[in-house]
């Protein structure tokens, strides 16, 4: 299996190795000095296992791929409402370096363009620029699972030429979006853009997002799922700037590109991808990186809106175990839709049995909505004069300490539940 995936990756890299379109990002002089042919592709599974192809050890600067991570950190630290008061979530359809704010709110339209990203830096708590940068640096490193370094040459190069970003920061100050000294905020922004990563670091950082803020390699919870949900949302709508619509249609993964040549893409719950190839298109995206992501998505079926799962997959089996006893075996990761389907099936058929046994041994993860539906099944079938027994040895549905208010009987095995049901009938 591992070789199969590796072969896919190698093949996709080989197919795109002849693509030399695009230009290095010359507007930051130091970025024009890199090897234009560098090409690395890394795919990280949700457990952190990585597949690497090409120049996956070559370091390059993270540039705008830093933006979703600083945005996540700002939300993590000061909360969504405080961040929303300063940065919108609407796609701007504009270039990454547009000097603009929303006409009505006078705040940056979203955190993925430079204006929103500079505002996000200012929202990360810190007594001075060093402390603020240290927080950001620690956060990125925790997402990558290793201590990342900064490229001093790129930092100096961008700092000495970044007048457009200076214009943006001073504009934001005039609208009251930035507090304090705009040059200090910019200094932190230039530093964060100059952090060095490899395609493997990007894949790992993407996987930390794919796992809802949990780094599967280090075992560290870096941030919480709601923070990640918001971050991925803006990556979907704004991460690829004015190419966001095309990207979502063709690739279908929340993603962010950077003018250093990197792209990080996230398939929520499943995997993270990092690509490096520094020749850029006119919108600032890696030409080869975009093509590789398109191919990967198409070949491996990674589009996040692919409707693949049958809703019936929550129910593994339904059968009778003697007269009046019906067993519903449920499995996998249960969300609202899966639990709703179990409940509706049991309610529809309830004239056929006296006792329903909900066999939940095969449940892996279950969210609160699904849990509420399943624990409510007993009360809803009781209205029709039916009993419900639950087989839940691992406490997935009803925690073993009975923290909730479930008043039904929970069995450790299906056999115990069936014999209890026989006695009842
Ligand atoms: N540091 C770059 C800038 O602010 C980031 C742009 C990008 O990667 O899209 O211009």
In the set 51, 71, 155, 189, the catalytic residue is 189
In the set 58, 101, 259, 287, the catalytic residue is 259
DSSP per-residue codes, 285-354: -BHHHHHHHHHHHHHHT--TT-----GGGGEEEEEESSTTEEEEEEEEEE-HHHHHHHHHHHHHTGGG-S
The finding on whether 165 has its CB within 6 A of some atom of ligand 1 is: yes
Q: pTM (2 decimals)?
A: 0.84
- 264: Cβ–Cβ under 8 A, 6 or more apart, which residues? 65, 202, 203, 205, 206, 255, 256, 272, 273, 274
**Ligand 1 geometric centre to CA of 64 (Å):** 5
The finding on whether 97 has its CB within 6 A of some atom of ligand 1 is: yes
What is the residue with the minimal CA distance to atom 10 of ligand 1? 97
Q: What pLDDT sits at residue 313?
A: 74
Q: Determine whether 166 is exposed, middle or buried from the number of CB atoms within 10 Å of its CB (0-12, 13-18, 19+).
A: middle
- Give, to the nearest 10 degrees, the angle between helix 66-78 and helix 225-238: 140
Q: What are phi and psi of 405, to 5 degrees?
A: -115, 35
Q: What pLDDT sits at residue 2?
A: 58
Give the position, in ligand 1's atom list, of the atom nearest the Cα of 64: 8
Q: How far apart are CA 12 and CA 232, in angstroms?
A: 26
* Catalytic residue status for 189: yes
CA distances from 201 to 6, 14, 43, 160, 179 (A): 18, 22, 10, 27, 32
**Ligand 1 geometric centre to CA of 318 (Å):** 56
What is the residue with the minimal CA distance to atom 6 of ligand 1? 64
Q: Are 195 and 62 in contact (CB under 8 A)?
A: yes
Q: What pLDDT sits at residue 308?
A: 54
Q: Which strand ranges, in their side-by-side order, compose the sheet holding 315-320?
A: 315-320, 325-334, 355-366, 387-391, 410-411
Partner residues linked to 36 by β-bridges: none
Q: How far apart are CA 420 and CA 408, in angstroms?
A: 13
Give the position, in ligand 1's atom list, of the atom nearest the Cα of 97: 10
Consecutive H or E run containing 151? none
pLDDT tens per residue, the chain (425 residues)? Answer: 457 778 889 999 999 999 999 999 989 999 999 999 999 999 999 889 999 999 999 999 999 999 999 999 999 999 999 999 999 999 988 889 999 999 999 999 999 999 999 999 999 999 999 999 999 999 999 999 999 999 999 999 999 999 999 999 999 999 999 988 999 999 999 999 999 999 999 999 999 999 999 999 999 999 999 999 999 999 999 999 888 999 999 999 999 999 999 999 999 988 999 999 999 999 999 999 999 999 999 888 889 997 655 545 788 999 999 999 999 999 988 888 788 888 889 999 999 999 999 999 999 888 888 888 888 889 889 989 999 999 999 999 998 776 567 889 999 999 999 999 999 98
- 84: Cβ–Cβ under 8 A, 6 or more apart, which residues? none
Q: How far apart are CA 21 and CA 168, in angstroms?
A: 30
**Ligand 1 geometric centre to CA of 115 (Å):** 11
* Catalytic residue status for 67: yes
**Ligand 1 geometric centre to CA of 322 (Å):** 68
Q: What pLDDT sits at residue 309?
A: 52
- Token pair in block for residue 23: 């230009």
User: Burial code of 91-117, b = ≥16 C-beta within 10 A, e = fewer?
Assistant: bbebebbbebbbeebebbbbbbbbbbb
Residues comprising the chain, all counted: 425
CA distances from 48 to 199, 221, 293 (A): 14, 14, 19
Residue 378's SS3 state is helix
In the set 44, 51, 53, 64, the catalytic residue is 64
The finding on whether 258 has its CB within 6 A of some atom of ligand 1 is: yes
CA distances from 313 to 27, 30, 309, 342, 389 (A): 52, 53, 7, 10, 21
**Ligand 1 geometric centre to CA of 183 (Å):** 16
**Ligand 1 geometric centre to CA of 70 (Å):** 14
* Catalytic residue status for 319: no
Give the position, in ligand 1's atom list, of the atom nearest the Cα of 65: 8
Q: What pLDDT sits at residue 195?
A: 98
Of 68, 69, 36, 37, whose CA–CA distance to 54 is shortest?
Answer: 37
Q: Are 239 and 254 in contact (CB under 8 A)?
A: yes
**Ligand 1 geometric centre to CA of 96 (Å):** 7
Q: How far apart are CA 250 and CA 81, in angstroms?
A: 32
In the set 51, 58, 67, 398, the catalytic residue is 67
Q: What are phi and psi of 115, to 5 degrees?
A: -60, -45
Pocket test for ligand 1, best of 67, 97, 255, 278 (most atoms within 8 A of CB): 97
**Ligand 1 geometric centre to CA of 259 (Å):** 6
Q: What are phi and psi of 64, to 5 degrees?
A: -70, -10
- Rounded to a whole number of angstroms, the distance between the first and last alpha carbons of the chain is 50
CA distances from 28 to 11, 91, 159, 165, 278 (A): 33, 25, 9, 12, 13
Pocket test for ligand 1, best of 259, 262, 279, 284 (most atoms within 8 A of CB): 259
Give the position, in ligand 1's atom list, of the atom nearest the Cα of 164: 10
The finding on whether 64 has its CB within 6 A of some atom of ligand 1 is: yes
């Amino acid at each position: 299996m591992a070789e199969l995936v590796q072969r896919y990756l190698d093949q996709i890299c080989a197919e795109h190795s002849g693509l030399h379109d695009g230009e290095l990002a010359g507007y930051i002089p130091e970025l024009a000095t890199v090897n234009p042919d560098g090409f690395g592709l890394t795919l990280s599974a949700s457990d952190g296992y990585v597949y690497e192809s090409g120049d996956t050890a070559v370091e390059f600067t993270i540039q705008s791929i830093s933006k979703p991570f600083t945005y996540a950190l700002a939300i993590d630290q000061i909360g969504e409402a405080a961040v929303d008061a300063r940065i919108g979530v609407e796609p701007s359809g504009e270039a990454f370096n547009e000097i603009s704010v929303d006409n009505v709110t006078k705040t940056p339209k979203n955190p993925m363009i430079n204006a929103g990203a500079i505002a996000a830096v200012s929202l990360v708590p810190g007594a001075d620029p060093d402390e603020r940068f240290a927080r950001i640096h620690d956060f990125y490193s925790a997402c990558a699972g290793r201590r990342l370094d900064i490229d001093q040459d790129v930092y100096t190069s961008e700092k000495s030429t970044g007048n457009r970003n200076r214009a943006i920061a001073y504009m934001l100050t005039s609208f009251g979006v930035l507090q304090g000294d705009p040059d200090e905020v910019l200094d932190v922004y230039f530093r964060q853009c100059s952090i060095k990563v490899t395609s493997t670091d990007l894949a790992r950082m993407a996987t930390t997002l794919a796992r809802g803020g949990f780094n599967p390699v280090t075992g560290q919870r870096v941030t919480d799922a709601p923070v990640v949900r918001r971050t991925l949302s803006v990556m979907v709508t704004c991460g690829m700037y004015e190419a966001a619509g095309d990207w979502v249609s063709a690739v279908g993964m929340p993603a962010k590109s950077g003018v250093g040549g990197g792209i990080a893409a996230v398939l929520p719950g499943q995997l993270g991808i990092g690509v490096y190839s520094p020749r850029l298109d006119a919108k600032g995206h890696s030409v080869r990186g975009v093509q590789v992501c398109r191919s990967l998505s198409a070949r491996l079926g990674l589009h996040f809106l692919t409707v693949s799962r049958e809703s019936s997959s929550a129910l593994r089996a339904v059968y009778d175990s003697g007269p009046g006893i019906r067993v519903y075996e449920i499995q996998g990761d249960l969300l609202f839709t899966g639990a709703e389907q179990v409940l509706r099936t049991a309610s529809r058929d309830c004239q056929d049995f006296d006792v329903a046994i909900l066999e939940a041994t095969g449940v892996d993860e279950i969210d609160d909505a699904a849990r509420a539906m399943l624990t409510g099944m007993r009360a809803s079938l009781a209205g029709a004069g039916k009993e419900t027994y639950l087989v839940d040895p691992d406490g997935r549905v009803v925690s073993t300490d009975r923290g909730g208010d479930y008043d039904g009987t929970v069995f450790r095995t299906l056999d115990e539940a069936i014999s209890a049901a026989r006695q009842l009938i």
